[in-house]
Amino acid sequence: MTDFTELKQRQAAVWSAGAFEEVAPSIHDMHVALVEALGPRPGDRWLDVGCGAGNLAELAAGGGAAVTGIDLSPRLIEVARARAEAAGYGIEYRVGDAERLDVENASFDKVTSSVGMIFAPDHDAVAREVARVTRAGGRLAFSAWTPEGSVGEMFKAFAPFQPPAPEGAGTPLMWGREEYVHEKLGAAFELSIERRISRAEDESPEQNWEYFAPRFGPVKTLLDNLEAERRDEFEQAARAHWDNGRQPDGTYVEEREYLLVIGVRR
């Protein structure tokens, strides 16, 4: 079994960089879709894996669920706790690993992950864990960017500037293929999969990039650590990708395709 400890330590640092809580509203429509798919009710035991700043967890808690949120980033867990306290939500947050969830077997009625668990490198471990913690008849809902969608294209544009992944590490875009989801989760869950669109808008591609770049941890990390020439090349590639969203009136619209996966635990 490959040890991805060093990679996950880097991931925790990357997602703790920037201010993802200021980027997360751009996928609010995705959070809503996931929560609506499972329908929180009072008494539900709800786990959000890769909870980030707590945006989805708050929606579930607002529907009456007893929510636990787990994320690899210590900084984002601190942000999520502060947000919950300020809003009066009794959400339990903890730093943790999607590949080794520190919760009991079959302890949740509903489990979600908004483009979160897809970043964990050991996909078999993630699949085992979400199956382990979901009770029989319980439900799973997660989202994953598709390889052919605009975010998939962004990942591909960024790849030449990032360190190579360790041998055996799964990539996030693998979860964006229906057949792969069935391969990893079909034995444990009865699955239904839809293609959805998350829409982003701004006054211009330039304005959206200027807002996004210092706040989104993976981009900020590259801009902070690449040597000057490579940093310039990266920014040129990124801006070229952003320009794909330019509309005839100069505004920015990006329709980002993702899979909405819903599973019922067998």
> Does 104 score more than 80 pLDDT?
yes
Q: Which residues pair with 110 in a beta bridge?
A: 46, 139
Q: Which residues contact 182 (CB under 8 A, 6 or more apart)?
A: 191
Q: Which residues contact 210 (CB under 8 A, 6 or more apart)?
A: none
Chain position carrying tokens 């990539």: 171
| Cβ–Cβ under 8 Å, residues 27 and 116 | no
Mean pLDDT over 242-258 rounds to 98
β 252-265/134-145 pair status: antiparallel
Domains and CATH numbers, the chain: 5-147+167-202+257-265 (3.40.50.150)
The reported pLDDT for the residue numbered 15 is 97
> Does 140 score more than 90 pLDDT?
yes
At 26, list the tokens.
């751009």
Mean pLDDT over 16-44 rounds to 97
CB-count burial class (<10 Å; 0-12, 13-18, 19+) for 217: buried
> Does 16 score more than 80 pLDDT?
yes
pLDDT digits (tens, 9 = 90+) for 35-75: 999 999 999 999 999 999 999 999 999 999 999 999 999 99
Provide the mean pLDDT of the chain: 97
> Does 1 score more than 80 pLDDT?
no
The reported pLDDT for the residue numbered 208 is 98
The reported pLDDT for the residue numbered 3 is 82
> Does 97 score more than 80 pLDDT?
yes
Mean pLDDT over 145-167 rounds to 96
Mean pLDDT over 81-86 rounds to 98
Query: Is residue 143 helix, strand or coil?
Result: strand
> Does 2 score more than 80 pLDDT?
no
| Cβ–Cβ under 8 Å, residues 221 and 265 | no
pLDDT digits (tens, 9 = 90+) for 168-200: 999 999 999 999 999 999 999 999 999 999 999
Tell me, what amino acid is at 135? R
Q: What are phi and psi of 257, to 5 degrees?
A: -80, 140
Q: Which residues contact 38 (CB under 8 A, 6 or more apart)?
A: 46, 60, 110, 112, 139, 141, 262
Q: In the chain, what is the greatest distance between 2 CA atoms, to the nearest angstrom?
A: 55
Strand spans (E) along 9-165: 45-49, 66-71, 92-95, 108-114, 134-145
Query: Is residue 89 helix, strand or coil?
Result: coil
* DSSP letter string, 158-222: HGGGSPPPPTT---GGGGGSHHHHHHHHTTTEEEEEEEEEEEEEES-HHHHHHHHTTTSHHHHHH
**Element of type H or E holding 73:** none
Based on C-alpha coordinates, what's the Rg of the chain? Answer: 18
> Does 151 score more than 70 pLDDT?
yes
